[in-house]
Structure 1
């Protein structure tokens, strides 16, 4: 299922959500166009969250919990994250307010990084991407708009598109169950040196569920 939009409408312009999207895309284009592959790898090692560095007590590694959110491993990684933020982020910002939404986003992303570090403490692979923060946004969307629906494209037989409206609680809940199942499977791995940071998704989502209740000015059922 590919999400195309949702049925909820924002009552205000989501300036912070758009700023996050613009900055994220701009950083990706800048580093991809200006850096050689070798320098790009070095930048990711420096500003991505490397679990082993944090566990070792490297103070500089703490900042990477924030910087890693604005780095992505390719166009598909970037587009999938930005698209999810575009669909779900505007309504969450509308309910929280701009400054609270920014705080919420950065906290969810940081907690997501910490959970990934806890799950893979010896990994030398840098974790990058905004998906942990966006997982928190998706969790907040469920709390703030429990009756909303997600408009999704379901490909039938790989060529026949089918548009459906799916309750957000089912769409996002199913996504979260996949993350939990996949995350548990990775715990059996001898070494995790790359791939999808499922535990960051899980950590960001749970953080979003808990944090949104503290920051929300009101819960609007729509």
Structure 2
């Protein structure tokens, strides 16, 4: 898997929405129970119970979204000690949850520092150009629509799942799909792990096309990001949605600048 670090594709306006989305994701993650480990004298079990209660309230659950059946009992965030040891107390939910709205809130939840960092890196590199092309408001709407498309795409294929689905990767996959459509020839600096990390400058169609193929291959063993794995079908659905939405903008999109003198990270020899 290649790691993108920068694209050679300047923007004409400050991508305020992209920056705001990154800030919102980081802020929500910092407020998520368990981000910094057990608080005070809290045990690991108490931390886990608080996290489960938090996710049950704000994360997307495919079964709830597709069938509209909310559970009668959920973790309350409290711990009880039973014959088999401490466990999470389960009781009637003390909140009203909208499964449709939970799609939006789940886009700002992440399962760990690496999950968050990876998503924000892709959003920072590729989101600024899509926002520059669409404008601030339309880009925000585009981001949310792609997030919903990714979430519904996954939920429809896993309608019986009660596992929470979290993460911004579905919406960001839409950004990648739009970038592939609008700027396929833009150059992207990537790090390729091969004994050491090799810096290469590759065309966007190769970087993002390879990323999409990996998602399709990995989707054979699809699972849910909240459980420490990845919802690859959500990535595919978001990517395709982004391509479809961006397609009408292709004709009026100016091509990215063509760098000269460098080829795949190394200076090319002049031809005579």
TM-score norm. by structure 1 comes to 0.91
Displacement after TM superposition at 1:56 (Å): 2.0
Aligned counterpart in structure 2 of residue 161 of structure 1, from 197, 206, 209 = 197
Separation in 2 of the partners of 1:192 and 1:22? 21
Question: CA 1:210/1:118 → structure 2, altered by over 3 Å: closer, same or farther?
Answer: same
Do the aligned partners of 2:175 and 2:242 also contact (CA within 8 Å) in 1?
Answer: yes
More relative contact order in 1 or in 2 (CA 8 Å, sep 6+)? 1
Separation in 1 of the partners of 2:249 and 2:47? 42
Q: Please identify the structure whose Cα radius of gyration is greater.
A: 2
Separation in 1 of the partners of 2:171 and 2:103? 11
> 24-33 or 169-178: which moved more?
24-33
Secondary structure in structure 2 of the residue aligned to 1:36: helix
Displacement after TM superposition at 1:215 (Å): 6.5
The reply on whether 1:9 has 2:14 as its aligned counterpart is: no
Aligned counterpart in structure 1 of residue 60 of structure 2, from 38, 49, 71 = 49
Do the aligned partners of 2:170 and 2:234 also contact (CA within 8 Å) in 1?
Answer: yes
Which residue in the other structure is 2:143 paired with? 105
Displacement after TM superposition at 1:143 (Å): 1.4
Question: CA 1:56/1:90 → structure 2, altered by over 3 Å: closer, same or farther?
Answer: same
Aligned counterpart in structure 2 of residue 136 of structure 1, from 159, 174, 177 = 174
Separation in 2 of the partners of 1:213 and 1:192? 29
CA RMSD of aligned residues (A): 2.3
Secondary structure in structure 1 of the residue aligned to 2:107: helix
More helix by share: 1
TM-score norm. by structure 2 comes to 0.75
Do the aligned partners of 1:95 and 1:216 also contact (CA within 8 Å) in 2?
Answer: no
Displacement after TM superposition at 1:2 (Å): 1.3
Separation in 2 of the partners of 1:53 and 1:115? 14
Which residue in the other structure is 1:122 paired with? 160
Secondary structure in structure 1 of the residue aligned to 2:98: helix
Do the aligned partners of 1:156 and 1:162 also contact (CA within 8 Å) in 2?
Answer: yes
More strand by share: 2
> 209-218 or 197-206: which moved more?
209-218
The reply on whether 1:201 has 2:232 as its aligned counterpart is: no
Q: Which runs of 5+ in 2 are unaligned?
A: 40-45, 70-96, 257-272
Do the aligned partners of 1:24 and 1:71 also contact (CA within 8 Å) in 2?
Answer: yes
Displacement after TM superposition at 1:171 (Å): 0.6
Do the aligned partners of 1:136 and 1:209 also contact (CA within 8 Å) in 2?
Answer: yes
Pairs aligned (count): 217
- Tell me the alpha carbon deviations over residues 64-91 of structure 1, each in whole angstroms, 9 at most, x when there is no partner: 1111000000000000000110000001
> 202-211 or 25-34: which moved more?
25-34
Do the aligned partners of 1:95 and 1:217 also contact (CA within 8 Å) in 2?
Answer: no
Separation in 2 of the partners of 1:161 and 1:53? 43
Q: Which runs of 5+ in 1 are unaligned?
A: none
